[in-house]
């Protein structure tokens, strides 16, 4: 593992703040990698010097059976299952080579009451108590009540947390900085960890030249979540999320690099190399020096 290698200052190549920050979502849009190619690439990521950065391979529930046919007899592969089946049909494959770390599923469409879907996710979490379960809640009707329900269940010992979408194929799937800041602070107030998905391939907030959509940056979210944990208000966190200059963001993140993330669990990305390259360019990861 990469934690056995050291930089010239005897520090890990990937600091604890970034451990398992990025789940490998290669098979999902916009990457849409074929599953065999995604498995091959994931093996390479897990053997690389930046392996500590990489979370599990995310696989649609309907592809799990196909995945088992791609594994070597003695292989062990960490995966997260993404629910593209009804929640009550989600489960863990009976194959010791597949190590399921988490199950994630949307609990409602935009404008729908999320509570029935959350109830099904809680039932799933109680049936699979060894897993982390993430309920994806739309940033619309019923959001805060849904967070209350999840936070109460978590406080009672259920391994459940929240998940939010920060991008997609339509403009309305990209929350504004204020909307995302409000969600981050709402999770902070409830001591509720959260994941994010979509649109976070790059460190800094930026406009995509092809679509015109403005994407959130994962460095912005790291700094914003840290500020929220320190008691920052929604307006303060929103200002950090809206920043397009890396300079004021780097030091707050660098100062926490030896601490766990705490509030923000991480995000899925169809590219591992793009976010890694940004971290290297910003001087937050050392670029693979092996001393």
- What's residue 170's pLDDT? 87
**Segments making up each domain of the chain, as ranges:** 176-284
Chain segment 141-196, per-residue pLDDT in tens: 899 999 999 999 999 999 999 999 999 888 889 999 999 999 999 999 999 999 99
Give the percent of the chain with pLDDT over 70.
95
Over residues 8-65, the pLDDT tens digits come to 445 578 999 999 999 999 999 999 999 999 999 999 999 999 999 999 999 999 999 9
Beta-strand runs (E) in the chain? 22-24, 54-60, 77-82, 98-106, 132-136, 160-165, 194-197, 206-207, 214-215, 264-269
Q: Which DSSP state fits 60?
A: E
Residue 288 pLDDT level (bands cut at 50, 70, 90): low
């Amino acid at each position: 593992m990469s934690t056995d290698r050291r930089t010239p200052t005897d520090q890990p190549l990937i600091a604890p703040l970034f451990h398992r920050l990025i789940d490998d979502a290669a098979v999902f849009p916009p990457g849409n990698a074929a599953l065999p190619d995604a498995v091959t690439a994931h093996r390479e990521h897990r053997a690389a010097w930046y392996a500590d950065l990489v979370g599990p391979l995310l696989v649609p529930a309907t592809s799990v059976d196909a995945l088992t046919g791609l594994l070597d007899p003695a292989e062990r592969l960490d995966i997260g299952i993404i629910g593209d089946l009804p929640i009550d049909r989600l489960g863990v494959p009976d194959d010791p080579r597949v190590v399921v770390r988490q199950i994630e599923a949307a609990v409602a469409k935009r404008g729908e009451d999320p509570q029935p879907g959350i109830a099904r996710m809680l039932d799933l979490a109680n049936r699979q108590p060894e897993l982390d379960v993430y309920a994806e809640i739309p940033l619309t009707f019923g959001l805060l009540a849904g967070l209350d329900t999840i936070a109460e269940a978590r406080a009672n010992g259920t391994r459940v947390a929240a998940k939010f979408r920060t991008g997609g194929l339509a403009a309305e799937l990209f929350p504004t900085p204020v909307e995302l800041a409000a969600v981050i602070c709402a999770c902070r107030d409830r001591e509720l960890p959260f994941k994010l998905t979509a649109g976070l391939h790059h460190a800094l907030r930026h406009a995509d030249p092809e679509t015109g959509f403005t994407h959130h940056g994962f460095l912005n979210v790291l700094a914003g979540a840290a500020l929220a944990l320190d008691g920052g208000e929604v307006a303060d966190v929103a200002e950090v999320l809206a920043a397009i200059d890396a300079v004021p963001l780097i030091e707050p993140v660098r100062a926490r690099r030896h601490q766990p993330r705490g509030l923000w669990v991480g995000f899925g990305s169809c590219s591992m190399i793009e976010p890694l390259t940004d971290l290297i360019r910003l001087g937050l990861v050392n670029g693979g020096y092996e001393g």
